[in-house]
Amino acid sequence: MEQKRDSFSGKLGFVFAAAGSAVGLGNLWRFPYLAAKYGGGIFILVYLILAITLGFTLMITEIAIGRKTGLSTVGAFKKLDKRFGFIGYLGCIVPFIITPYYCVIGGWVIKYLAVFVTGQVKAATSDNYFSDFIARPAEPLIWFIIFAALTAIVVMIGVQKGIEKASTILMPILVVLILGVSVYCITSPGAMEGVKYYLLPDFSAFSATTVLAAMGQLFYSMSLAMGIMITYGSYMKKEDDLRGSVRQIEIFDTAIAFLAGLMIVPSVFAFSGGSEEALNKGPSLMFVTLPKVFESMTFGGFIGATFFILVLFAALTSSISLLETNVSIICDKFGMDRKKSTLIATIYVLVVGGLVSLGFGPLSFIKILGLGLLDFFDFISNSVLMPIVALLTCISIGFFVKPQVIYDEVEYGGRKFKEKKFYTIMLKWVSPICLILILLFAVSEAMGWIKV
Ligand code: PHE
């Protein structure tokens, strides 16, 4: 059964809403810690190259598929070619893996917001503050439940309009604040070395892991290879400029990630000495570093609180689009109404996310492939499933459905597809080959067949 879909009001509305989904913890929390860990400048370089090649190709493809069919993932692939419905199903698994742990981190953001609002910044600057916090059984669980509940409430009430409006106002404020804070950070004593580390590529730090990490991050950050952009594309108006919108979303998403890194990585040098250990903090990096930065500022408590409110908002617009995807999958698949589906999706998120949250404390003995629960879910989605979905998307569209379908969509209304040749080569050859190589590498590494 085909439903009538709402369209976003004009191109800017679509760009902002898609950017609201794309810009989130991936940019603010995940990108900086990966950049710090994988050699700074070299990671940024690899990421940028991937963004303008693979990222561009996939996003154009997904949004075009969505707009062409007017359907979300499973339906969209089926409509293009009956045999490919399974790619849609595979893509659907990803949001189910990401949403629970996304909400756990969202909970950490609320916790830090509370820390700043209640003036406990000083305590939060101590090195063990964060690790002690996540190791407690109940506290992180409570913040996680609050975040998941906030997300669920918005989804329950029905969203698109709300997301669109709120992101239009809050995103620009977030950008200005990050800009301000990063200027402060890079001018702090000792930060220069960090700026160099962040901006100048050190080619000796390059390895296949850098590419794997950057690629997983690209999918995650741009909400690619999981059907979300297909769904967003299905809401896009026919007369809007698809190619231009993709460019804008990409630039916006990358710029925010880049700035977030510029704020956090040099601070690691200025406030924690830039040792290997300090750079290798992984998921905790933002929470360990930023309190030190804000504590050193005049009005830091206020600025920090404002910052975490905006991060919370960015995280919510993303988690909403994640949960929304889960809900619509349950709705479509089991023919349930929206309320029931939201309830089921939320219960699922609470159970799995609860385990992830406890995985840092009472359940920390659980290790899969040598990884803790959060890192395991993160690995399975970003380094395994998403490359597979991306690969299948490229091959199915490139060789079976044929790229003409995408050209028609991009060129609709007499628009130009300037990168058509480049796009085609990327879609049919370069992307699939790179994706296969990187997948082989990811699996070998996880299985311990190779050591890096
Ligand atoms: N792209 C979002 C981020 O960067 C995360 C996300 C992934 C959101 C998938 C929706 C869907 O945080």
Model pLDDT for residues 328-380, shown as the tens digit of each residue = 888 878 888 888 999 999 999 999 999 999 999 999 999 998 899 999 999 99
What integer pLDDT is reported at residue 163 of this predicted model?
Answer: 59
Q: Which two tokens stand for residue 188?
A: 């702090």
What integer pLDDT is reported at residue 2 of this predicted model?
Answer: 44
At residue 68, does pLDDT exceed 90?
Answer: yes
Phi, psi of 419, rounded to the nearest 5 degrees: -95, 30
Does residue 382 line the site of ligand 1, with CB under 6 A? Answer: no
Does residue 216 line the site of ligand 1, with CB under 6 A? Answer: no
What integer pLDDT is reported at residue 5 of this predicted model?
Answer: 64
Does residue 24 line the site of ligand 1, with CB under 6 A? Answer: yes
Does residue 227 line the site of ligand 1, with CB under 6 A? Answer: no
pLDDT band of residue 14 (cuts 50, 70, 90) is confident
The number of CA neighbours under 13 Å toward the Cβ of 315 is: 29
Instruction: Tell how far the Cα of 255 is from the centroid of ligand 1, in angstroms.
Output: 15
Ligand 1 atom closest to 22 (CA): 1
Ligand 1 atom closest to 23 (CA): 4
Question: If you ran DSSP here, which 8-state letter would residue 299 be given?
Answer: T
Instruction: Tell how far the Cα of 15 is from the centroid of ligand 1, in angstroms.
Output: 15
Does residue 318 line the site of ligand 1, with CB under 6 A? Answer: yes
Does residue 15 line the site of ligand 1, with CB under 6 A? Answer: no
Does residue 328 line the site of ligand 1, with CB under 6 A? Answer: no
What integer pLDDT is reported at residue 168 of this predicted model?
Answer: 75
Q: What whole-number percentage of the chain has pLDDT above 70?
A: 95
What integer pLDDT is reported at residue 288 of this predicted model?
Answer: 95
Does residue 248 line the site of ligand 1, with CB under 6 A? Answer: no
Does residue 167 line the site of ligand 1, with CB under 6 A? Answer: no
What integer pLDDT is reported at residue 1 of this predicted model?
Answer: 39
What integer pLDDT is reported at residue 368 of this predicted model?
Answer: 93
DSSP count for the chain of H helices, then E strands: 24, 0
Segment 86-95 mean pLDDT: 94
- d(CA 271, CA 290) in angstroms, rounded, equals 9
Q: Which helix (H) or strand (E) holds 344?
A: helix 338-358
Does residue 151 line the site of ligand 1, with CB under 6 A? Answer: no
- d(CA 50, CA 30) in angstroms, rounded, equals 17
Instruction: Answer yes or no: are the C-beta atoms of 67 and 236 closer than 8 Å.
Output: yes
- d(CA 167, CA 177) in angstroms, rounded, equals 15
Q: Which of 93, 97, 221 has most ligand 1 atoms within 8 Å of CB, for mutation?
A: 221
Nearest residue by C-alpha to atom 7 in ligand 1: 223
Instruction: Answer yes or no: are the C-beta atoms of 399 and 428 closer than 8 Å.
Output: yes
Average pLDDT, the chain: 92
Instruction: Tell how far the Cα of 353 is from the centroid of ligand 1, in angstroms.
Output: 16
What integer pLDDT is reported at residue 9 of this predicted model?
Answer: 65
Segment 58-71 mean pLDDT: 95
Model pLDDT for residues 122-181, shown as the tens digit of each residue = 999 998 999 999 999 999 999 999 999 999 988 888 655 665 677 678 888 999 999 999
Instruction: Tell how far the Cα of 219 is from the centroid of ligand 1, in angstroms.
Output: 9
10 Cβ contact list (under 8 Å, min separation 6) = 237, 240
Instruction: Answer yes or no: are the C-beta atoms of 41 and 200 closer than 8 Å.
Output: yes
pLDDT band of residue 410 (cuts 50, 70, 90) is very high
Model pLDDT for residues 23-55, shown as the tens digit of each residue = 999 999 999 999 999 999 999 999 999 999 999
- d(CA 304, CA 286) in angstroms, rounded, equals 12
Model pLDDT for residues 228-259, shown as the tens digit of each residue = 999 889 889 999 999 999 999 999 999 999 99
Segment 385-414 mean pLDDT: 97
Does residue 317 line the site of ligand 1, with CB under 6 A? Answer: no
Ligand 1 atom closest to 226 (CA): 9
- d(CA 240, CA 82) in angstroms, rounded, equals 28
Q: Which two tokens stand for residue 414?
A: 């007499």
Give the chain's largest Cα–Cα span: 62
205 Cβ contact list (under 8 Å, min separation 6) = 38, 39, 40, 42
Does residue 221 line the site of ligand 1, with CB under 6 A? Answer: yes
- d(CA 35, CA 258) in angstroms, rounded, equals 9
pLDDT band of residue 62 (cuts 50, 70, 90) is very high
Q: Classify burial at 189, counting beta carbons within 10 Å of its beta carbon; exposed 0-12, middle 13-18, buried 19 or more.
A: exposed
Instruction: Tell how far the Cα of 297 is from the centroid of ligand 1, in angstroms.
Output: 30
Nearest residue by C-alpha to atom 9 in ligand 1: 223
Higher pLDDT, 262 or 329: 262
At residue 441, does pLDDT exceed 60?
Answer: yes
Higher pLDDT, 140 or 20: 140
Three-class SS of residue 450? coil
At residue 451, does pLDDT exceed 70?
Answer: no
What integer pLDDT is reported at residue 162 of this predicted model?
Answer: 66
Q: Which of 30, 97, 102, 325 has most ligand 1 atoms within 8 Å of CB, for mutation?
A: 102
Does residue 319 line the site of ligand 1, with CB under 6 A? Answer: no
Q: Classify burial at 3, counting beta carbons within 10 Å of its beta carbon; exposed 0-12, middle 13-18, buried 19 or more.
A: exposed
Ligand 1 atom closest to 318 (CA): 8
Q: Which two tokens stand for residue 167?
A: 């992101």
Nearest residue by C-alpha to atom 8 in ligand 1: 318
